[in-house]
């Protein structure tokens, strides 16, 4: 089994270097482990199954799964001017993870579920014997392809017409069946997602990072939240605010779920971050928040141009005292979370899902914690990628640094809530810059 810490960032001081397979270290808090135990697998059998699967992933990807580092972006000297006065700002760095992002964690959790069901000798679930299928043009597709190849499972990947040729070439090399999806006349919604659903209807099994399609993919990335909570506690810090980039929303859901299961001291305010050029989640929130207040019989406290923070404060109380039941009370107004019209464009191309599929769970976490969403413009998204590249290695791309962009945008717009000693701002850096090459030794 591959072991040892993920390569440490070169400038930001490392608070925790990582190490240890998270699917083993945190197994008692994962659904997949409890599924294994209910199915009759002993603890040792579960550990052996994970180790064997991880070895196969390492043979394909060059690395297996282990805890990723937590770094202090404001702990070095000099502090980057963009972060001056904001510290401590800490980052969970996923860029050296399997396939270069967090996506493979999601999909390894799903693979373990399949392997456990097979080991237990139960009847396969519907579609379990068909090909695996995913709609993606980047990190999720590569993560899926590496995990599927490690288990010798057929994978069909639906990609857009402008998919990165280098990514497509990697998918081909990993044995994936790549299907290009042009937009059909009069068609609304992401054509890749539409073709995916057609494939699922024909018997394929979802192997995609969308919780509503396959809830098990949330479980694997809960390991990020579990690790984060442990690492913060070991560093004597508590997360006050967490900025997470969202496309489909599974990452934010999983990290918050993991932190909640850690048993740590409370949850941070969640700030979902999207690009100003295309933001279906934020647009939906801005329709849903006033509607929720109206359903509760509460006045709208935010007639000004920056209402998000005021709405968050007004809804946090009803969520805490039970007047607002989440996520159940969202069902009646779900139509207000609509797909983004047209074809979106951004330097952070990996978060341009036309709809935030896991929006109910993201919004529930956001409201309960008193958080609010944050937009980042193109200049700030590009700035965050450059800033992160000077602090961690391998560096993230603009998508992977979008959470940091959201923090910068929030600090410059309305300012950040006051913090007490020991409270930190937290971002995730995930999604390696695939144009980056390691420096020569």
pLDDT single digits (tens) 136-161: 878 889 999 999 999 999 999 999 88
* Contact indicator for 106, 250 with CB cutoff of 8 Å: yes
Tell me what pLDDT residue 122 has.
63
Residues near 206 by Cβ (< 8 Å), separated by ≥ 6? 127, 132, 133, 134, 196, 200, 213, 214
Question: What one-character DSSP code corresponds to residue 155?
Answer: E
Tell me what pLDDT residue 129 has.
60
Residues near 285 by Cβ (< 8 Å), separated by ≥ 6? 308, 363, 366, 373
Q: Where are the beta strands (DSSP E) in 167-308?
A: 177-180, 205-206, 238-245, 269-275
* Contact indicator for 253, 354 with CB cutoff of 8 Å: no
Domains of the chain with CATH codes: 70-98+217-429 (3.40.50)
Tell me what pLDDT residue 128 has.
52
Per-residue pLDDT of the chain (441 residues; tens, 9 = 90+): 444 455 555 578 999 888 899 999 999 999 999 999 999 999 999 999 999 999 999 999 999 999 999 999 999 888 999 999 998 999 999 999 999 999 999 999 999 999 998 888 765 555 456 789 999 878 889 999 999 999 999 999 999 888 888 889 999 999 999 999 998 887 777 888 899 999 999 889 999 898 888 888 999 999 999 999 999 999 999 999 999 999 999 999 999 999 999 988 889 999 999 999 999 999 999 999 999 999 999 998 876 656 999 999 999 999 999 999 999 999 999 999 999 987 788 999 999 988 999 999 999 999 999 999 999 999 999 999 999 999 999 999 999 999 999 999 999 987 899 999 999 999 999 999 988 888 776
pTM to 2 decimals?
0.93
* Contact indicator for 406, 243 with CB cutoff of 8 Å: yes
Tell me what pLDDT residue 2 has.
41
Cα–Cα separations (whole angstroms), residue 54 to 48, 57, 151, 333: 10, 5, 10, 42
Other C-beta atoms closer than 10 Å to the C-beta of 395 total 24
Tell me what pLDDT residue 124 has.
56
Tell me what pLDDT residue 305 has.
57
């Amino acid at each position: 089994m591959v072991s040892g810490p993920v390569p440490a960032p070169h400038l930001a001081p490392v608070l925790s270097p990582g190490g240890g397979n998270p699917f083993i270290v945190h197994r008692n808090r994962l659904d997949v482990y409890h599924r294994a135990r209910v199915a009759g697998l002993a603890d040792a059998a579960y550990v052996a199954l994970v180790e064997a699967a991880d070895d196969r992933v390492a043979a394909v990807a060059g690395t297996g799964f282990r805890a990723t580092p937590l770094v202090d972006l404001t702990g070095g000297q000099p502090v980057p001017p963009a972060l001056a006065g904001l510290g401590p700002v800490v980052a969970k760095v996923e860029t050296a993870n399997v396939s270069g992002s967090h996506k493979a964690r999601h999909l390894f959790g799903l693979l373990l579920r399949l392997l456990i069901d097979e080991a237990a000798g139960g009847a396969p679930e519907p579609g379990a014997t068909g090909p695996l299928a995913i709609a993606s043009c980047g990190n999720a597709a590569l993560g899926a392809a590496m995990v599927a190849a490690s288990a010798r499972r057929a994978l069909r990947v639906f990609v857009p017409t402008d998919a990165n040729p280098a990514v497509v070439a990697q998918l081909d090399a990993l044995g994936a069946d790549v299907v290009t999806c042009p937009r059909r006349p009069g068609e609304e919604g992401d054509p890749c997602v539409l073709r995916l659903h057609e494939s699922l209807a024909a018997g394929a099994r979802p192997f995609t990072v969308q919780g509503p399609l396959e809830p098990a993919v949330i479980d694997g990335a809960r390991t990020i939240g579990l690790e984060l909570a442990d690492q913060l506690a070991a560093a004597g810090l508590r997360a006050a605010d967490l900025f997470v980039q969202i496309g489909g929303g599974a990452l934010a859901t999983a990290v918050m779920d993991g932190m909640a299961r850690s048993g740590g001291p409370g949850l941070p305010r969640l700030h979902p971050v999207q690009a100003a050029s295309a933001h279906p989640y934020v647009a939906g929130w801005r329709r849903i928040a006033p509607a929720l207040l109206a359903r509760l019989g509460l006045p709208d406290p935010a007639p000004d141009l920056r209402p998000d923070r005021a709405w968050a404060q007004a809804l946090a109380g009803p969520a805490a005292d039970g007047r607002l039941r989440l996520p159940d009370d969202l069902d009646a107004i779900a139509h207000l979370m609509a797909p983004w019209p047209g074809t979106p464009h951004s330097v952070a191309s990996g978060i341009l899902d036309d709809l935030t599929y896991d929006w109910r769970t993201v919004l529930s976490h956001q409201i309960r914690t008193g958080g609010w969403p944050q937009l980042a413009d193109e200049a700030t998204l590009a700035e965050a990628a450059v800033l992160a590249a000077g602090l961690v290695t391998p560096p993230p791309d603009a998508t992977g640094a979008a959470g940091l962009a959201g923090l910068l945008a929030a600090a410059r717009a309305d300012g950040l809530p006051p913090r007490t000693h020991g409270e930190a701002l937290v971002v995730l850096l995930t999604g390696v810059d695939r144009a980056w090459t390691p420096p020569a030794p």
